[in-house]
Structure 1
Amino acid sequence: MAVTPLSEVATPAARDHKWGFGAFLFVFSVFVLSAVLIGAVIGLARPDSTDSVAVILVGTMVPTFLATLAALVVTKVRGNGPKIDLRWSYNREDLKAGLKFGLIGLVCTTIAAAAWTQIVGEENASSSLGRLVDDQAMPLPAAVILFLYVWLLGPLCEEIIYRGLLWGALERLNWGRWAVFTLTTVIFAVSHLEPLRTSLLLVIGIPIGLARLYTGRLGASVVAHQVNNFMPALAVFLITLGVMQP
């Protein structure tokens, strides 16, 4: 399937939004501060429950949801809304392009993850979420919620923040599209706050960013991210059910 280059995509109407890079910093601050606050509140209320199901679900999902909500509010209050400002769409062409880049990314990520595991060792190879759910059995409803978050909802939220808000902020600074692609990919990797996995996250972010770059639309990168996250989400699901060992 041929993907239409950005240069051939119809140029949208001129955007006059009043938000920029400061909006991304605000949204990322919401994420970090809410994560710290939630951790502190749970730690004070239930100091012996840091590995409980509720802590995992709330601590993992709520900060991301709050940051995404902040991003959407910024586009409504200071711009034209997410459809225009973030180039949001979700149509057949987005699905086709996202599947193509997502499958390419899945292959590249699998190879890179295997090589990276050999370098750092099995004990250091898990993501922060993987370490969190190690040996943590969950009831089926909670495991399904976490699976759907890692596979579908988390990627949607992250794309709104990074390939939506951040991408739009850098475009507003009149950066070239390859510069925007490069910087958003780097910030995406670094912002996960997992220094040891940053190089692997760069590999993961490249095909996702390319989906956004070559289509000019956010929907394609959302699909690519969701495809890339399916196998990790499935692994987390099987671990939390006790079917697979971490």
Structure 2
Amino acid sequence: MEDEGATSARDGLVLGAHWALVAFIVSLGAYYVLSLLLSGLAFHGRIGLSDLGPLVLLAFLPNLFLGLGPVLASRRWGRGVRIDFGLRPTGRDVRVGLACGGFSLLAAYVLNLVLLQVYGGDYLSDSTTEVLRSMTSSFGWLVFAALVVVVAAPLTEELLFRGALWSGLAHHRVSPWVILVLTALIFAQVHGEPERTLALLGQGIAIGTARLLTGRVSASIIAHATNNLPPALLLFGGS
């Protein structure tokens, strides 16, 4: 008799759910656990916070798990990241991604104007950019931090949200429009900036539209990178 677990894996199911949903849950859990661990070490003085240096890499470690889980799960139970997520960008991916990234920046600008009236200017600064810039004393590490913001973070986050979560929900026949809004909501929540949730939701919808229009994560990665470019450039504002 054929092994039931092997049959389920071939059908795309792991522990009764699509492998992409399992990858999403495990990856997000690992992200929060490692974030809490690093925060605890920093709070108790085990990790110094005086200079950017290798702390950029350390701060990115939890984010790395967001993309690592979908990649490993796709290799183990799926058809590989190029087929499952469309990680080889096409010309259309680039065009749609750039357009959606531009709309994301526009949405953030408009929504932040609204939030400005509610919270005031002190609440709407890009906290990640401000922290990184305040910690740095090296131009080389600023370049590295900018690459993390523009390249690494969009890659890992899109593999999780518009890759694993989107694919898993689509497998279970959830409406693409529902998936678009749901992934944007979770995207906004994970960033942990309550006062910017509305703006992040708008950005998430604009970025997710690239995946909706092309069916490929490459397009949403390009949109996300386009969205992150201005904050990355701001890192050099005080250098």
- Is this a same-fold pair by TM over 0.5? yes
Match of 1:12 in 2: none
Match of 2:156 in 1: 157
Question: CA RMSD of the aligned region, Å?
Answer: 2.1
* Contact 1:211 1:221 survives alignment (8 Å): yes
CA 1:46–1:237: 2 relative to 1, 3 Å = farther
Shift of 1:52: 2.8
Match of 2:108 in 1: 109
Match of 2:6 in 1: none
Shift of 1:238: 2.1
Q: Aligned pair 1:201/2:200, yes or no? A: yes
Match of 2:78 in 1: 79
Match of 1:23 in 2: 23
Q: Identity over the aligned pairs, expressed in percent?
A: 30
Shift of 1:41: 3.6
* Contact 2:53 2:136 survives alignment (8 Å): no
Q: Aligned pair 1:122/2:118, yes or no? A: no
Match of 1:39 in 2: 39
CA 1:63–1:25: 2 relative to 1, 3 Å = same
Q: Deviations over 1:178-215 (max 9, x none)?
A: 11111111111112122221111001111111111011
TM-score normalised by L of structure 1: 0.83
CA 1:72–1:20: 2 relative to 1, 3 Å = closer
> For 1:73 and 1:31, how far apart are their aligned partners in 2?
15
Shift of 1:46: 3.6
* Contact 2:101 2:225 survives alignment (8 Å): yes
Q: Equivalent residue of 2:88, what SS?
A: coil
* Contact 2:67 2:155 survives alignment (8 Å): no
Task: Number of aligned residue pairs: give it.
Answer: 225
Q: Equivalent residue of 1:87, what SS?
A: coil
Shift of 1:62: 1.2
* Contact 1:189 1:201 survives alignment (8 Å): yes
CA 1:165–1:208: 2 relative to 1, 3 Å = same
TM-score normalised by L of structure 2: 0.85
* Contact 1:83 1:89 survives alignment (8 Å): yes
Q: Mind listing any 5+ residue stretches in structure 2 that lack a counterpart?
A: 1-9, 14-18
